[in-house]
Amino acid sequence: MKFFNKDSLAVGLAMFSMFFGAGNIIFPLAIGQLGGDKTFFSILGLIFTAVLVPFMGVYAMIKYEGDKRKFFGKMGKTPGFLTAFFTILLLGPMGSTPRCIALAYSTLKSFLPQVSMYLFALLSCLVIYFCAASKKRLLSLLGVFLTPLLLLSLIAIILLGFIYPSHLKVVESYGIELFFRGLKEGYNTMDLLAAFFFSSSICSLLKTNVHKNRIALQASLIAMTLLILIYAGFSFIAAMHGGDFMRDEILSQITFKLMGPYAGIFVCFAIGLACLTTAVALISAFTDFLEKEICKEKFSYRSLLVLSLIVTYLVATLKFDKISAFLGPILQIIYPALIVLTVINILTNLKKEVYV
């Protein structure tokens, strides 16, 4: 029997898409820009918190069949519910969603100098509302074309980055220092948080498969390998070509440098659009939680979506750096706590299997 089959590949690509938002690329670029000739150590730290830990979350959620109540319920009913709400709030209007909009603006502003952040955020929220309110039919259509296009564009950037003559800058930082910097940047991807709320779709794909444990393992290896290769590739590209660009402008500037003005504009627009489609998925998940778990369906999905997007707009106008500065200290507290919760849930489940 082949180790990888079409089911494993399909689920693996679904896992990859779940974790790979265009916004995630900024963090490998950031550690590469600072890591220089010691970028390898930064990548190790990033892989731990941005790849291995999120897939621990996926594994744990599969064992709980995607049931968030049971997963967070290990903390107690009320603490678990509050933790779940705070987590989805960070993914939604108070964190990751407006950050996606801010990054899209940073990526595109060189080509749209006449558009202010306030106008861009407003237009973005209108687009997000249209896609989310229509139950993602347009988003699904975009995903069919956009995900392969984005992936091919990013691979092209990586290949050109290694072909284009340059060198790794020498940095004085110690390897262990850069490892922990990469570890903290992995928190900023917020992929462990995403694992808790998007793994239900993976569980649905695996539910009818009699070999679901084997398929889950194979699919995870496929997705993890793709993420590691892309993260490592972009870290080294930034180490060679990152220069002194502002953090939120590294992606667009490197793209422009390596691909030229015309191809650069095309790829930057693809990346900007991918940021917005990620924002649609995040705000939809938050609004669903708000409607079903908080409001008990007393208010309509669309009215709650409008409320969520108003908050998203206000946060997005702070721009990428201020949003990241706001999220940083929170993630450094909540991320390790959620790692501990994940490990406890995995061990508890394994203990039950041993005694059954």
Three-state SS annotation for 162-192 = HHCCCCCCCCCCCHHHHHHHHHHHHHHHCHH
Per the rule left: phi > 0, alpha: psi between -120 and 50, beta: everything else, 319 is left
**Is the predicted pLDDT of residue 273 greater than 50, yes or no?**
yes
What's the confidence (pLDDT) of residue 69?
87
Rounded to an integer, the average pLDDT of 214-227 is 88
* pLDDT, averaged across the chain: 85
Percent of the chain residues topping a pLDDT of 70: 92
- pLDDT per residue over 81-102, tens digit each? 999 999 999 999 999 999 999 9
Domain ranges of the chain: 6-355
Q: Is 166 exposed, middle or buried (0-12, 13-18, 19+ CB in 10 A)?
A: middle
What's the confidence (pLDDT) of residue 313?
97
- pLDDT per residue over 44-77, tens digit each? 999 999 999 999 999 999 888 888 888 998 888 8
**Is the predicted pLDDT of residue 17 greater than 90, yes or no?**
no
Top pLDDT among 21 and 54 is at 54
Give the number of other CB atoms < 10 A from CB of residue 14. 16
What's the confidence (pLDDT) of residue 311?
96
What's the confidence (pLDDT) of residue 1?
45
Percent of the chain residues topping a pLDDT of 90: 39
CATH 1.20.1740.10, applies to 6-355: yes
Q: Is 353 exposed, middle or buried (0-12, 13-18, 19+ CB in 10 A)?
A: exposed
**The tokens of 326 are what?**
């706001």
**The tokens of 133 are what?**
């309110």
Q: Rounded to two decimals, what is the model's pTM?
A: 0.87
**Is the predicted pLDDT of residue 7 greater than 90, yes or no?**
no
